[in-house]
């Protein structure tokens, strides 16, 4: 099995595209096949090289690696469409020779006028066929006039085009519903329907799993492939991803690209796991590794209805992924909010203490201040607890801290001996005196992360 992901570098990696990339890679990996990355940059106006690099970086960050692509060429490339012009010219020449395509001299203005007129008349806005039956001399005359034509595919009349969609089942379209479409632009570059279909065939792609927006266009590609005598891949069209409000996912929803979430501190494993179950179901629950995903991915369980990219659900995965972060990776993830120049050991202790309570790195910022900064002011609730505990409580605590440093059991033990308190009565005053807050991470590891002497100093304030 050979699958592919074929983005056009006109922006950042969209979550919906990231999902189709993930599905395709999983499909190939599970079957022991190959996964290709092809950059569809035939539109030089909108294609930006920086986006190609960004796309590849985001894909790799997400853990999606390709077997062949622009930076990993094999004999079937190049994997940038902008470099495949000569190949397209060859195929196009075949189509011209067989009369499957014809030059069209209509201007953009004529075409849009025609479209508008048809729409107004309650008809589908299809190409009217103006240039379809031009004679050789008429063509020569227009050519002489200096107009460079596009090439249109001559869609045969009265045919039925059938194919089986892997997710939607049997599909049937009428060729009479399809207007003649452009396969080569006036500037000589190949158009999407053509280059996309031809490349899939030439690169040996056997399964095209893509967004549902391509479903109704598939017959056009089948027509091209048939005219060229090229093999057709199997097709599958997954429903689009929508936002929490059910409308197509876009910037309006705050974030729609992988980059957006990456910059907020979301982990690739969290995003991949969320995407994995959107429009797809698999038996195992819980956070899956890449291997587990490849094993559990089931194309028979691809959904036909649009799935919502739900941030609340993403956060559940994120929490899980954060909790499972190995110590070194956790420190790196938290590095942006850690104080500059913090020693390795303190950073490790702080990270270990905070990790169970974090969703995003920014959540740790207040605690950086509490642990490493000046003694925190007490919240009203906290002040009340301190007052109720009284100076005796804190002189015992401070004395114990002076002896034992950041060892919570030692401090608590000393206070218990001095006051007879236990449970919440014993621990809460310590917590609020040390952190200023009634809520927070587990106290024992937090104390270990505090610079030496800080605990004693803070407890002594109330002695």
Partner RNA sequence: GCUCCCUUCGUCUAGAGGCCUAGGACAUAGCCCUCUCAAGGCUGUAACACGGGUUCGAAUCCCGUAGGGAGCGCCA
Provide the minimum distance between the beta carbon of 422 and RNA in the complex, in angstroms, as a whole number: 8
The candidate with the shortest Cα–Cα distance to 350, out of 372, 375, 318, is 372
Using CB under 7 A, which residues numbered 422 to 441 contact RNA?
A: 423-424, 426-428, 431, 438-441
**Residue 33 vs 159, nearer CB to RNA:** 159
- Residue 115 to residue 117: CA distance in whole angstroms: 5
Q: Which stretch binds RNA (CB under 7 A): 171-179, 256-264, 370-378, 392-400?
A: 171-179
**Residue 25 vs 42, nearer CB to RNA:** 42
Task: Decide if residue 58 touches RNA (CB under 7 A).
Answer: no
Size of the site for RNA (CB under 7 A): 84
Task: Decide if residue 175 touches RNA (CB under 7 A).
Answer: no
Determine which residue in the list 3, 20, 25, 42 makes contact with RNA, applying CB under 7 A: 42
Task: Decide if residue 312 touches RNA (CB under 7 A).
Answer: yes
**Residue 33 vs 202, nearer CB to RNA:** 202
Provide the minimum distance between the beta carbon of 144 and RNA in the complex, in angstroms, as a whole number: 17
Using CB under 7 A, which residues numbered 377 to 396 contact RNA?
A: none
One-character DSSP codes across 97-118: HTTSEEEE---HHHHHHHHHHH
Contact predicate 447/404, CB 8 Å = no
Determine which residue in the list 35, 102, 193, 462 makes contact with RNA, applying CB under 7 A: 193
Determine which residue in the list 203, 278, 371, 414 makes contact with RNA, applying CB under 7 A: 278
Determine which residue in the list 135, 144, 251, 305 makes contact with RNA, applying CB under 7 A: 305
Question: Nearest 5°: phi and psi at 280?
Answer: -155, 140
Provide the minimum distance between the beta carbon of 135 and RNA in the complex, in angstroms, as a whole number: 20
**Residue 33 vs 147, nearer CB to RNA:** 147
Task: Decide if residue 106 touches RNA (CB under 7 A).
Answer: yes
Work out the number of other CB atoms within 10 angstroms of the CB of residue 66. Answer: 24
Using CB under 7 A, which residues numbered 64 to 103 contact RNA?
A: none
Task: Decide if residue 182 touches RNA (CB under 7 A).
Answer: yes
Task: Decide if residue 217 touches RNA (CB under 7 A).
Answer: yes
The Cα-based distances of 441 to 10, 33, 302, 425, 435 in angstroms read: 44, 46, 40, 18, 10
Provide the minimum distance between the beta carbon of 232 and RNA in the complex, in angstroms, as a whole number: 18
List Cβ<8 Å contacts ≥24 apart for 314-317: 314/261, 314/266, 314/270, 314/271, 314/274, 315/359, 317/269, 317/270, 317/271, 317/273, 317/274, 317/287
**Residue 10 vs 346, nearer CB to RNA:** 10
307 cis-preceded (ω within 30 degrees of 0): no
Task: Decide if residue 186 touches RNA (CB under 7 A).
Answer: yes
The candidate with the shortest Cα–Cα distance to 59, out of 262, 299, 324, 195, is 262
Provide the minimum distance between the beta carbon of 119 and RNA in the complex, in angstroms, as a whole number: 6
One-character DSSP codes across 131-167: TTT--HHHHHHHHHTTPPPEEEE-PPSS-EEEEEETT
Tell how strand 101-104 and strand 150-153 pair up. Answer: antiparallel
Question: Which H helix or E strand runs over 210?
Answer: strand 207-211
- Residue 288 to residue 126: CA distance in whole angstroms: 47
Using CB under 7 A, which residues numbered 3 to 22 contact RNA?
A: 6-8, 10
Determine which residue in the list 111, 296, 347, 383 makes contact with RNA, applying CB under 7 A: 111
- Residue 33 to residue 14: CA distance in whole angstroms: 25
The Cα angle at residue 295 between residues 293 and 300, in degrees rounded to 5 = 90
Task: Decide if residue 307 touches RNA (CB under 7 A).
Answer: yes
The Cα-based distances of 379 to 325, 429, 431 in angstroms read: 32, 12, 12
Task: Decide if residue 281 touches RNA (CB under 7 A).
Answer: yes
The candidate with the shortest Cα–Cα distance to 411, out of 459, 357, 360, 350, is 459
Determine which residue in the list 185, 202, 253, 295 makes contact with RNA, applying CB under 7 A: 185
Q: Which stretch binds RNA (CB under 7 A): 155-163, 240-248, 264-272, 341-349?
A: 240-248
Task: Decide if residue 150 touches RNA (CB under 7 A).
Answer: yes
Q: Which stretch binds RNA (CB under 7 A): 105-113, 226-234, 367-375, 387-395?
A: 105-113
Determine which residue in the list 254, 339, 356, 392 makes contact with RNA, applying CB under 7 A: 356
């Amino acid at each position: 099995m050979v699958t592919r992901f074929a983005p056009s570098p006109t922006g950042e990696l969209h979550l919906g595209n990231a999902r189709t990339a993930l599905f395709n890679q999983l499909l190939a990996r599970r079957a022991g096949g190959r996964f290709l990355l092809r950059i569809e940059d035939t539109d030089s106006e909108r294609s930006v090289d920086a986006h190609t690099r960004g796309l590849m970086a985001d894909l790799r960050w997400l853990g999606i690696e390709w077997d062949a692509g622009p930076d990993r060429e094999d004999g079937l490339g190049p994997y940038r469409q902008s470099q495949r012009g000569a190949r397209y010219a060859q195929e196009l020449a075949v189509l011209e020779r067989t009369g499957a395509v014809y030059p069209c001299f209509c201007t953009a203005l004529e075409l849009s006028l025609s479209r508008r007129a048809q729409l107004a008349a309650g008809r589908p806005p299809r190409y009217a066929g103006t240039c379809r039956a031009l004679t050789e001399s008429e063509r020569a005359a227009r050519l002489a006039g200096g107009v460079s034509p596009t090439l249109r595919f001559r869609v045969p009349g009265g045919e039925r085009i059938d194919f089986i969609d892997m997710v939607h089942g049997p599909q049937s379209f009428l060729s009479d519903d399809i207007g003649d479409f452009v396969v080569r632009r006036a500037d000589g570059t190949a158009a999407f329907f053509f280059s996309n279909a031809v490349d899939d065939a030439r690169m040996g792609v056997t399964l095209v799993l893509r967004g549902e927006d391509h479903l109704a266009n598939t017959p056009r590609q089948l027509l091209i492939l048939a005219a060229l005598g090229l093999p057709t891949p199997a097709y599958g069209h997954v429903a689009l991803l929508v936002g929490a409000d059910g409308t197509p996912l876009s910037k309006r929803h705050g974030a729609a690209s992988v980059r957006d979430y990456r910059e907020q501190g979301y982990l690739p494993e969290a995003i991949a796991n969320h995407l994995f179950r959107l429009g797809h179901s698999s038996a195992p629950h819980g956070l899956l590794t890449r291997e587990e995903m490849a094993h559990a991915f089931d194309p028979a369980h691809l959904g036909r209805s649009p799935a919502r990219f739900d941030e609340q659900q993403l956060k559940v995965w994120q929490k899980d992924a954060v909790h499972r972060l190995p110590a070194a990776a956790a420190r790196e993830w938290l590095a942006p909010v850690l104080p500059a120049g913090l020693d390795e050991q303190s950073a490790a202790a702080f990270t270990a203490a905070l990790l169970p309570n974090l969703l995003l790195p920014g959540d740790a910022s207040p605690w950086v201040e509490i642990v490493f900064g000046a003694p925190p002011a007490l919240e009203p609730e906290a002040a009340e607890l301190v007052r109720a505990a009284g100076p005796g409580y804190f002189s015992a605590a401070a004395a114990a801290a002076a002896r034992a440093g950041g060892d919570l059991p030692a401090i608590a033990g000393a206070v218990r001996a001095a006051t007879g308190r236990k449970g919440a009565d014993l621990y809460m005053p310590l917590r609020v005196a040390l952190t200023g807050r009634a809520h927070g991470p587990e106290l024992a590891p937090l104390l270990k992360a505090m610079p030496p002497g800080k605990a004693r100093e803070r407890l002594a304030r109330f002695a």
